[in-house]
Amino acid sequence: MSLRADAPAPPAARIRRFSRAERWVHRATAVLMGVCVVTAAVLYIPQLAVMVGRRELVVRIHECAGIALPVPVLLGLASRAFRADLRFLNRFGPHDRVWLWAALSRDKRRSSRPAGKFNAGQKVYAAWIAGAVLVMLGTGLMMWFTHLAPLMWRTSATFVHDWLALTIGVVLAGHVGMALGDPEARRGLRTGTVSREWAEREHPLWRP
Amino acid sequence: MNPERSEERDGTPVGRRVFLGTLGLGALGVVAAPALQSGLEGFLGAVAGKDPTGLTGLLPNGGGFRYYSVAASVPRKDATDYRLTIDGLVDRPGTHTLAELRALPQTRLVKDVQCVTGWRVPGTPFEGVRLSHLLDMAGVRSTAKAIRFTCFDGTYTESLTLAQARRPDILVALRMQDKDISHDHGGPVRLYVAPMYFYKSAKWLSGITVTDRVEPGYWERLGYDVDAWVGRSNGRTDEPTS
């Protein structure tokens, strides 16, 4: 019956992918990032700015969310599972090179996309977004507390903050878009477990 | 031990390199920003002039004005209910309607607009009544030192010294870009302080009060310079606009 085929695999066949702590780190980071993006849009897009006004309040919300953005990850460092996943994200093996070449040449065959717990794209994304968030934090602080740095730096910081914001917006849209296209990956972050079939298909080198 | 697993745990730390590289590029970007910015502004300015979609306007420093309002919502005023009040240390306090302002001698200036946050709009026409003319009509008393401007958004304020206010390039503007000033640009009447950063050019102008000392305006209480000459204040070195 088709109902059975569509239903998630029985619990026994499900594999633990993320601990509770890791799921909360992701959730909190996603919410804070969402607040940053929405308030940034209000500050930046004239039509939205006209609708909302209240510039000082929007700026304050944006600043608070931005300052808080690294906090969930820092708290997550207390979790052994989170630290282990950071190590997976950091370390690139020969299979990651294969994956990246396949991605660059638009080769979508499963066999040319070997991946451990995280594929090379996810690893690059994680490292880049972590660096980008810190650059946004640094330039944001320079725009906020102008007396901390020579005044001329404010313009330079604004320039980097604006263009990097645009870049992050595009990359983040890609991140969300790919998640929307993969319900089982989302289920992994929502419930902590994924089906064995999905794990073997998407992350063949992962040994949970 | 399984070879894939050891690969996963003990491969090259590329993630760390990407992370540190991103940080380094960010720092480099801040250092190189002045050069990058002028190049990009020139390029985007040229593109924006021929861009029918208006999408370049959404890019940072992509040319054109940006809308900043500090109030939650701003009432709309037109010729029927707009009033400009002039009071304080003057002999003849009073109000002007929009029609009365339009009947006064008009001055048209075409200069660049420079915002303190970096964007610049070249060659923008503003037209209106010289502030000095309105002050002369009201009769400024000898004890007066400064002007305080208030706005019908209920929040924004600005200030000028009396000497600054008497400059011929400071207007109570009724027209911008050769059109009546729209609501979003601060219409029907806004201040236009040509030689200073654009935050001095208060939108939705509704009151001119002559005072005996400078009372810093909205952004100035939040850290911006009171004497906001373009290129000589706020730590910036832009080309002067007037």
Contact A49 B69 (CB under 8 A): yes
Contact A50 B236 (CB under 8 A): no
- Angstrom distances, CA of residue A154 to CA of A140, B33, B44, B64, B142: 9, 10, 21, 21, 40
Classified as helix, coil or strand, A114 is coil
For residue B19, give the nearest of A117, A131, A207 by CB distance: A131
Inter-chain Cβ pairs, chain A and chain B, closer than 8 A? 161
Task: State how far residue A60 is from chain B, nearest Cα, in angstroms.
Answer: 12
Q: Count how many Cα atoms sit within 13 Å of the Cα of residue B164 in the half-sphere of its side chain.
A: 22
Asked whether residue A136 is assigned to any structural domain, the reply reads yes
Contact B11 A92 (CB under 8 A): yes
Asked whether residue A92 is assigned to any structural domain, the reply reads yes
Contact B235 A135 (CB under 8 A): no
The first and second tokens of residue A29, run together, are 């980071």
> In chain B, which residues have pLDDT < 70?
1-9, 41-42, 44-72
Higher pLDDT, A145 or B228: B228
Asked whether residue A3 is assigned to any structural domain, the reply reads no
User: Residue B125 is which amino acid?
Assistant: P
Contact B68 A164 (CB under 8 A): no
Task: State how far residue B220 is from chain A, nearest Cα, in angstroms.
Answer: 14
Domain around A24 = 12-202
Instruction: Count CB neighbours of B146 within 10 A.
Output: 21
Q: B-chain residues within 8 Å CB-CB of A132?
A: 22, 26
Domains and CATH numbers, chain B: 3-58 (no CATH), 83-221 (3.90.420.10)
Q: Could you tell me what percent of chain B has a pLDDT over 70?
A: 82
Task: State how far residue A141 is from chain B, nearest Cα, in angstroms.
Answer: 13
The count of structural domains within chain A is 1
What CATH number does the domain containing A109 carry? Answer: 1.20.950.20
Q: B-chain residues within 8 Å CB-CB of A88?
A: 8-9
Taking a C-beta distance cutoff of 8 angstroms, is the pair A19, A188 a contact? no
pLDDT tens readout for residues A120-133: 999 999 999 999 99
Contact A159 B184 (CB under 8 A): no
Q: Report pLDDT for A149.
A: 65
Q: Report pLDDT for B2.
A: 47
**ipTM score for this prediction:** 0.86
Q: Report pLDDT for A12.
A: 60
Asked whether residue A94 is assigned to any structural domain, the reply reads yes
pLDDT tens readout for residues A58-93: 989 999 999 999 999 999 999 999 999 999 999 999
Q: Report pLDDT for A45.
A: 81
Q: Which of B199, B218, B205, B125 is nearest to B169 (CA)?
A: B125
Asked whether residue A5 is assigned to any structural domain, the reply reads no
